[in-house]
A and B are shown apart, each in its own frame.
Chain A
Amino acid sequence: MATLNINGRDVTVDVPADMPILWVLRDVVGLTGTKFGCGMALCGACTIQLDGQPTRSCVTPVAAAAGKKITTIEAIGETPAGKKVQQAWLDLEVVQCGYCQSGQIMSASALIAKNTHPSDADIDGAMSGNICRCGTYPRVRAAIKQAAKGA
């Protein structure tokens, strides 16, 4: 048994300690906003925040979350940075198929929470782990800059 703090709530789950957080969220807790894309931390679709740090949940065992706060896409809008990022995403019509966007938003929110003036290089550094097959990159970049202005 492990107790996880997910989006501000303590949740007790009966899972092996090495089970990646991704599958705990999706298949046990029922939070499906966090997506499975590659299983090897290559695509970023599974990005969550652990104590505010963007984290690839597909390779992070549940044991690594002990004593830490897990934030997922379902609750990122409750943080000031997440709210701004979501709004900028809507203002600039970033999404296409949308499957990667949970992860994009989790990475982008972590970036602007710490950096209110992200340069192009900062954005490259923070976002290059998040693949978008629809190719929304120009709008992701523009939306991060817009969200950061209000951060």
Chain B
Amino acid sequence: MTTHTVSRRDFVVVLTATGGGLLLGCRVGDRSGVATAAAAPPEPPAFAPNAFIRIGSDGRVTLVMNQVEMGQGTYTSMPMLLAEELEVGLDQVQLEHAPPNDKLYANPFFGDQETGGSSSVRGFYEPLRRAGATARTMLVAAAAQTWDVNPASCRAKRGVVTHTPSGRTLTYGALADKAAKLPVPDKAPLKDPKDFTLIGTPAKRLDAPDKVNGKAQYGIDVRLPGMKVATVAASPVLGGKVAGLDEAKAMAIAGVRQIVNLGDVVAVVADHMWAAKQGLAALAIRWDDGPNGNVSTADVVQGLDAASQQPGVVARTQGDAVAAIAGAAKKIDAVYQVPFLAHAPLEPMNCTVHVRKDGCEVWTGSQTVTRAQGTAARVTGLPLEQVVVHNHLLGGGFGRRLEYDWVTQAVRIGQQVEGPVKVVWTREEDMQHEFYRPYYYDRMAAGLDGGGKPVAWTHRIVGPAIVARYLPPGFRNGIDPDGVDAAVQLLYDIPAIQVEFVRHEEPVLNTTFWRGVGPTHNVFVIESFMDELAVAAKADPVAYRRALLGKAPRARAVLDLAAKAAGWGQPLPAGRGRGVALLFSAWGSYLAEVAEVEVSKEGELRVHRIVCAVDCGTVINPDTVKAQIEGGVNFGISGALWGEITLKNGRVEQSNFHDYRVLRMNDAPKIEVHLVRNLEAPGGLGEPGTSVTAPALANAVFAATGKRIRRLPLQAQLRSS
């Protein structure tokens, strides 16, 4: 492996130079490149009015990206918010990954620097516009002062301030030094949305050019002088320990340099991944499984079922739902279940670390870069300021990279290794040591009047409280706000409603947020059960819902739009069916989806067409909205049709994409997205497409076959029925 002696400042350039002799030059003005702020500090900026904007006296505009890019387009939408008010073109800016700093970059929804929960646009719509407006106001003031004119007689556009009456101009670069000396205004005025020239227009993704030519740098692409590569095996059973291994055999493999046995995990450190992988196989590790060695999925389900017999904490109540059901003309109840799921982002977990006595450097892709920094500090005992984290583009996040277990592990390994080491998980290690979407178990009941209209609705949710672990202040009065999301906002006009949350932890697998979070499970349950009510009422599923949406005009509008666009009610060939689902949750977006599926005589399920209608309020980048719905729907199809992680003898049974099936081109349906445009507050958009898909598919399967599937994944249930 080539080694170079380089200074830290040259780091990013050298990295990319070794990547094929192509100099990305992200420090020197290639707008499509993304640098890490901490790794490659630019020349001291002449003008840095806040943590998001830097303008050099050469006119270079650098925008610091607090939210991380994992495909959702945030490295385009966040720059659009800044550039709209700063009055620069997107072709005039370059981007940097923000360093870890909760004080500067906290997500207002979570209180720390975190990208998740479809919150970036919702959380930063106002703060980033304000940051841009503040900078622009100061640059205009600097120009007005230079010319001794009234700032109101000046206007800014594309990085130039013009004195309108005289036509005199000054560039932002020329004004930067002077602007830096001016006081920062308290509350710079924001544009009227009707004057937006960028927000709401289809802007080209700023990260795209480097993603089609191999230049984009993900955590796994890090290369450092003298760096070793390691791969790992952690106990296949949570809580297990190493009982024995054959170190000599592994060390005999060419390129293997070191074995690091930490008791719960073993790393083989080598010159390259191939040697590390072979070394790991040669170790033939024997495990002491510990207390979870006999656990299977059935044990987990049994625990959830037992917990579901008890009442939970009431998360929403109106009227006396239990009494109303007891007295109803017709009673319906059902149990719904959704399995453990892996996120399986295509870039496996990886982290490069260099642990020294006086400092620790970490290179990874994280949705929560301060948590990555925090764990490195805790493991090493170093103060936070001596831990530098270089964040990267993420090769998929989906919630997996909200955790930091692989960073903790890499730092522990790095403590035993001289020089930098890149720890890369194999796909098998990744699939079997995830933080999974929890198994949820829901009890539903409803009462209908003589006309089939619902008079009462109860929903008991049983599952872990992820928020209690992840964001303890958010877990209040025994309710996980994520666990009940979408259930407590139920928009249907039903006189009596009760939603309960039963916290039940099954600590045999680590669990966390999965794309679509709480609503991915709740919307499946709610919208499937709503279909059951429509069937019981002998009503059309769209008309039945519509009649209950009198107080929710935005929801009714997307339902109408999706139904019309999908040709709801028009005849389909035998074996095919259409299903509908509606979504509203804390994201603030309204979605309706119509799925068209086909089930063969052999029970093979195929999705032909998805039609989505979306009202997410103010739209930043309309093409990104469509892309996120398309991608979210496809992610939802993978989960709903095939996704299932199962346990046997404490071990995850799935290991790679042959036994954890995900959507491929030949199975991918046509997807149509219809946007409702308005200037309501912006809603979250990265996840709703995923959450609304499973119930639309399950309802379509019912329409096609008459089979009501209450336990995902659909394909396995169709085959077993």
Contact = CB atoms under 8 A, between A and B. Distances in A.
Interface of A: 7, 15-16, 19-20, 23, 26-28, 30-40, 42-43, 45, 72-74, 77, 86, 89-90, 93-102, 105, 123-125, 127-141
Contacts of B69: 97
B657 interface: yes
Task: Give the one of B214, B666, B668 with max A CB within 10 A.
Answer: B214
Given A98-B393, A99-B395, A132-B634, 4 more contacts: A35-B395, A74-B215, A128-B664, A128-B665
Interface residues on B, range: 35 or more
A35 B656 contact: no
20 contacts: A23-B274, A31-B19, A31-B214, A36-B348, A38-B427, A38-B657, A43-B346, A77-B213, A90-B209, A93-B204, A95-B71, A96-B73, A97-B394, A97-B397, A99-B346, A124-B666, A128-B664, A133-B635, A135-B630, A137-B634
B67 to A, nearest CB: 14
Nearest to B222: A32
Contacts of B635: 133-135
Name, among A77, A95, A128, A133, the residue most crowded by chain B CB atoms within 10 Å (CB to CB). Answer: A133
A105 to B, nearest CB: 6
B665 A95 contact: no
Contact of A32 (B72, B208, B214): B214
B706 interface: no
Interface string B200-212: 0000110111111
B214 A96 contact: no
A16 B426 CA distance: 20
Contact of B633 (A19, A30, A35, A135): A135
B658 A42 contact: yes
Given A90-B209, A135-B631, A136-B631, A35 B220 contact: yes
Given A33-B213, A33-B215, A42-B658, A93 B623 contact: yes
Contact of A97 (B393, B426, B634, B657): B393
Given A123-B665, A135-B633, A39 B427 contact: yes
B273 A127 contact: no
A3 B135 CA distance: 55
Contacts, number: 198
B214 A86 contact: no
Given A96-B71, A133-B662, A74 B22 contact: yes
B516 interface: no
B19 A30 contact: yes
Contacts of B396: 97, 99, 133-134
A136 B396 CA distance: 12
Nearest to A105: B212
B71 A134 contact: yes
A93 B208 contact: yes
B424 interface: yes
A48 B634 CA distance: 26
Contacts of A123: 665
B345 A133 contact: yes
A39 to B, nearest CB: 6
State the 9 A-B residue pairs at the shortest beta-carbon distance, nearest first. Answer: A33-B214, A135-B634, A99-B395, A96-B71, A98-B211, A97-B71, A27-B272, A137-B668, A73-B214
A119 B424 CA distance: 38
Given A19-B274, A73-B213, A97 B668 contact: no
B212 A90 contact: yes
Interface in B211-247: 211-218, 220-221, 223, 229
Nearest to B672: A138
Nearest to B637: A135
Contacts of B272: 15, 19, 23, 27-28
A77 B214 CA distance: 10
B346 A139 contact: no
B20 interface: yes
Contacts of A40: 427, 656-658
B6 interface: no
A89 B216 CA distance: 15
Given A28-B1, A93-B205, A37 B18 contact: no
Contact of A38 (B205, B218, B656): B656
Contacts of A90: 204, 208-209, 212
A57 to B, nearest CB: 12
B670 interface: yes
A95 B393 CA distance: 13
Nearest to B203: A93
A47 to B, nearest CB: 12
A94 B212 CA distance: 9
A141 B665 contact: yes
A95 B656 contact: no
